[in-house]
Amino acid sequence: MLFKKKSELEVLEEIVSSTVVDKETVLGKPLPRHVAIILDGNGRWAQQQGKPRVFGHQAGMFNVEHIAEVASGMNIEAMTLYAFSTENWKRAAEEVAFLMKLPIRFFDRFAPTLMRLNIKTKVLGNKEELPEGLQTAIRRIEQMTANNTGMKLMIALNYGAQDEIMGMVKKIANKVKEAELSLDDIDSKLIDDHLLTKGLPPVDLLIRTSGEQRISNFLLWQIAYAELYFTEIPWPAFKEGALLEAISQFQQRDRRFGGVKK
């Protein structure tokens, strides 16, 4: 086996060591403009404590608030968080129902903080398939924060990158069919402009918590040159120190974007 699963002690050591990165040192170096995070491990974190999985989702929600506040304080330009995928509907009905209510509570609770921090929030994904109450809450928070000029906080809900790419292809194909565009107009900028992330910088750093090392249909186009960072820390335990550690690792990477170092 190539990768050994870490023991609980090793995970604990990782959590402890992740708090020793010096914030000022990290802030003194170039930061990623766009950080994307796959919020994984809520269920396992709760179960390890003998609690129901939904307890982990609730703790995960509080941590979204914490990490968004930390990232905004560091002047990160954009943060995209994967909270519910197009594949997550396969989960038990009670868990899905809980996950559909959670963002309503989150937007309600977090609205004053978003305004205080000048954070602009948007939801990425197929919103029409979400329950009516959640759609209303999304419209409310997007409208409320629309003129904020600070960090852009994107919450991916009922999001799947393959769906997003299909949507982009259909929109462009339709414009070509209607002669609004010609085939020669299609370039990477045009594709960027027909994705849900239009206007955001490409992802510089993609973090996945809780040990799995896969992308799970998240931002497939946008992560072309992202640095990937995997940590054993489950999402509810991924605090400021862990984010600083991830960014510090990012700052030590040699990014060549396909070129050769001079």
Chain positions contacting ligand FPP, by CB under 6 A:
39-44, 57, 60-61, 64, 83-84, 88, 99, 102-103, 106, 155, 210, 235
d(CA 23, CA 75): 13
| Smallest separation (angstroms) from ligand FPP to the CB of 40 | 5
Q: Which is nearer to ligand FPP, 42 or 231 (CB)?
A: 42
Q: How far is the CB of 138 from ligand FPP (least distance, A)?
A: 11
Distance of closest approach, residue 16 Cβ to ligand FPP, in angstroms:
21
Pick 60 or 241: Cβ nearer ligand FPP: 60
**What residues contact 240, with CB distance under 8 A and at least 6 apart?**
66, 67, 70
- Closest by CA to 63, choosing from 51, 53, 75, 71, is 71
Q: Counting Cβ atoms within 10 Å, is residue 30 exposed (0-12), middle (13-18) or buried (19+)? A: exposed
Residue closer to ligand FPP (CB basis): 23 or 66: 66
* 108 given a catalytic annotation: no
* Sign of torsion over alpha carbons 18, 24, 26, 32: positive
Question: Is 40 among the residues known to form the active site?
Answer: yes
CB 14 to ligand FPP: min, Å: 17
Among residues 88, 126, 148, 217, which one is catalytic?
A: 88
Please check whether residue 132 is in contact with residue 59, taking contact to mean a CB–CB distance below 8 angstroms.
Answer: no
Residue from 83, 114, 116 nearest 101 by CA: 83
The residue among 40 and 245 lying less far from ligand FPP, judged by its C-beta, is 40
Beta strands in 52-178 (DSSP E): 78-85, 120-124, 152-159
Catalytic residue among 22, 40, 118, 158: 40
Catalogue the active-site residues: 40, 88
